[in-house]
Copies of this chain bind each other. A is one copy, B any other.
Amino acid sequence: MTVEQKESNIKVPKHDSKDNDLLIKRLKRIEGQIRGIQQMVDDDRYCVDILIQISAAQSALKNVGFQLTERHMKHCVHDAMVKGDGDESVEELMAVLKQFSK
């Protein structure tokens, strides 16, 4: 754990803490949506109503993903490109984007 943390301290450019707070706020709202869906299943609510809520949670999660992707490109990928290590950084991001679209 400590080793991993250390490693990430090297790799990770410090992110804006205000930006992190916003992301966490959004993720807490998604956590609440997931709990609401559990309750709907437990209450044996109409499947289509549950599916609509799952779709809303998915959409919110996707938006968090997009926000992180944009931040990653503007900072990590940017820094790698300026240093001349851009290609590896792009390939790493493409692998994640492909997984996302599955």
Interface residues on A, range: 35 or more
A27 interface neighbour in B38, B46, B82, Cβ under 8 Å: B38
Number of copies: 4
Contact B91 A70 (CB under 8 A): yes
CA distance A93 to B72 in the complex (A): 13
CA distance A69 to B99 in the complex (A): 15
A52 interface neighbour in B8, B48, B51, B96, Cβ under 8 Å: B96
Verify if A74 is at the interface (C-beta below 8 Å from B): yes
Contact B46 A12 (CB under 8 A): yes
**Which residues of B lie under 8 Å from residue A102 when comparing CB positions?**
55, 59, 101-102
Chain A, residues 9-24, CB within 8 Å of chain B (1/0): the string is 0011011000010011
CA distance A26 to B53 in the complex (A): 15
Within 8 A of B (CB), among A40-76: 41-52, 54-55, 57-59, 61-62, 64-66, 68-76
**Which residues of B lie under 8 Å from residue A43 when comparing CB positions?**
5, 8
